[in-house]
A = this chain, B = another copy of it.
Amino acid sequence: MQGKKVLIADDEPDILELLAYAMEKEGYEVILAHDGEETIKKALKHLPDIILLDVMMPKKDGIEVCRQLRTEKSLEETIILILTARSEEYSEVAGFDAGADDYVTKPVKLRSLLSRLEALQRRGIKNNPSVLQAGPFAIDREKYLIVHGLEEIKLPRKEFELLYLLASMRNKVVSRDRIFEEIWGKDVIVVDRTIDVHIRRIRIKIGEQYIQTIKGVGYKFVAED
């Protein structure tokens, strides 16, 4: 991995230093900021891949900074992760509304932070909106629900993920190989028919017309709009 850029913003020098040290050791190129305004300025200048943002900061708090950064086209791909004191409200999660990709409670446990980051990078965030609009369905990862008009459809995990995968590629064929890889992973071995069976179950629950079979290739989620 070549050095990705991370911008760390916190007003407490101790924490800043600690994080900087840790991230550098992980091979990141580190940029620092001490308050809200500096954060925004430096973010626009350096276009970092990741921004760690303390909620409590002078000049402009983390939530506000986050909201503002999210309007920037040039930072579309940037992962924004919010740091929040444990004592503060969980509802501080309001940060999500501001466009944060995740948040971590302080005191920061480095292992946790790093693994969270890795997870975010691995799946390339932006293709992973928590609510996916697909045809008449809203597929909500956070609620683990498919919403169809007024009806809420519950799917078990594997089915949910399969549908999510297909819907996220709407109108494109997803090959059986690809499905195996995404849903089961490289290591797990399951019989071919397993996919068909899951498709079946999904069709029963959401209706037959949305998932189309492409013989010899895979499946396709079809939807207008």
Determine if B144 and A173 form an interchain contact, defined as CB atoms under 8 angstroms apart. Answer: yes
CA distance A214 to B181 in the complex (A): 23
Determine if A89 is an interface residue (Cβ-Cβ < 8 Å).
Answer: yes
The yes or no answer to A31 lying at the interface (CB within 8 A) is no
Of the 9-residue stretches A21-29, A38-46, A68-76, A161-169, which lies at the interface with chain B?
A161-169
Cβ–Cβ < 8 Å partners of A109 in chain B: 185-187
Interface residue tally for chain A (C-beta within 8 Å): 40
CB distance from A89 to the nearest CB of B (A): 5
A18 sits at the interface (CB 8 A): no
Given contacts A181-B112, A186-B111, A215-B156, contact A168 B90 (CB under 8 A): yes
| Min CB gap A67→B, angstroms | 11
- The reply to whether B171 and A217 contact each other, CB–CB distance below 8 Å, is no
Which parts of A42-65 form the interface with B (CB within 8 Å)?
A: 61, 63
Question: Does A122 make an interface contact (CB < 8 A)?
Answer: yes
Whole-angstrom CA separation of A215 from B168 in the bound complex: 23
Q: Is the CB of A94 within 8 A of B63?
A: no
CB–CB A172/B142 < 8 A: yes
